[in-house]
Amino acid sequence: MRNKFFARKKTLIFLIIIFFLSTNKVFSSEYRCFYGINNSKSFKLVRRRNNFLWVTQSLREFPLEILWENKEEIVLGGSFTVRDIDYYKVYYLDKTSLKVNTGNINSPKDFKSQSESIRSLYECISLN
């Protein structure tokens, strides 16, 4: 009887340890992402409680919100202004393959001088 108790206890402890080890990989708190020629440039995505920081190579930090997350993927986003241009940056990270896709969305007001880009913008009307 006593041996069964210890065997169950060992099994339970083993399962708990396996769970925490696998969860730590899936919900890692820091990622280093490489890009550029020969992956010569990099940035970090660092979890800070319920948000992330985008940390550049020059160690500048920018806040990113978690837009969506599950155990395999996470989508981060934040708004920024660079040289008087407003844009929203999105990171889509696959936590299993550790691949990331990123993109920027600019404000339509920043397309002033680019006639081809202006034609590609969607038209909207106010419904109010």
Q: What structural domains does the chain harbor?
A: 29-110 (2.40.128)
Predicted local confidence at residue 97, as pLDDT:
92
Distance CA 52, CA 21 (A): 22
Predicted local confidence at residue 74, as pLDDT:
94
The rounded average pLDDT for each run of 10 residues, N- to C-terminus, in the chain (128 residues) is 63 53 54 89 90 93 95 94 86 92 84 60 63
C-alpha distances in Å from residue 15, one per residue of 12, 21, 70: 5, 10, 22
Q: Is 84 left (phi over 0), alpha (psi -120 to 50) or beta?
A: left
Contact 106, 98 (CB under 8 A): no
61-82 burial by CB neighbour count: b if 16+ within 10 A, else e? eeebeeeeeeeeebbbbbeeee
Four-CA torsion 109, 92, 31, 89, nearest 10 degrees: 0
Distance CA 46, CA 56 (A): 11
Beta-carbon contacts of 96 under 8 Å, excluding residues fewer than 6 positions away, are 26, 72
Amino acid at the residue 115: S
